[in-house]
């Protein structure tokens, strides 16, 4: 649960973390102690709205379907995001490119960074670009 309207899917980046995270239909479901995962999380939704996570609070147990999906008790977080405006598709493309370029060794199994940039440049919507990393 969040304090603001977010359109899924959502792409997330974290400073000091090589991954590009995609949240398809929910955000804020964690295993015990997983709250720290959300530290320094920056996200962009399918409409280009950008947000920075400012606070996490354990809300309680998540719906049973998540515990069944992950074979463990899952918890729901109450997330507070600060909206940072809108990023253009070209700016987002460049931000992701810079991020994966900084961690090129992690991404090499998918091809060169230049090959990934070519695939990213073909995306014509935020949703297409986000789904590329799913």
Reported as a single tens digit per residue, the pLDDT across 7-21 is 999 999 998 899 999
Mean of the pLDDT values across residues 96-102?
Answer: 95
Containing structural domain, residue 18: 10-86
Q: Domain check: are 79 and 43 in the same one?
A: yes
pLDDT tens for residues 36-76? 888 889 999 999 999 999 999 999 999 999 899 889 999 99
SS3 54: strand
Q: Domain check: are 124 and 99 in the same one?
A: yes
Q: Domain check: are 126 and 95 in the same one?
A: yes
Cα torsion angle, 110, 24, 58, 76, sign: negative
Q: Domain check: are 119 and 97 in the same one?
A: yes
- Residue 133 · residue 22 · CB < 8 Å: yes
């Amino acid at each position: 649960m969040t304090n603001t309207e977010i359109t899924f899917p959502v792409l997330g980046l974290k400073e000091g973390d090589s991954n590009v995270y995609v949240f398809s239909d929910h955000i804020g479901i964690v295993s015990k102690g997983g709250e720290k995962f959300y530290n320094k999380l920056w996200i962009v939704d399918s409409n280009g709205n950008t947000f920075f996570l400012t606070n996490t609070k354990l809300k309680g147990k998540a719906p049973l379907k998540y515990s069944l999906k992950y074979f463990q008790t899952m918890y729901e977080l109450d997330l507070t995001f600060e909206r940072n405006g809108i990023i253009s598709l070209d700016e987002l493309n460049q931000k992701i490119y810079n991020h994966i370029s900084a961690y090129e060794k992690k991404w090499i199994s998918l091809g060169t960074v230049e090959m990934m940039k070519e695939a990213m440049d073909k995306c014509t919507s935020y949703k297409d670009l986000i789904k590329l990393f799913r």
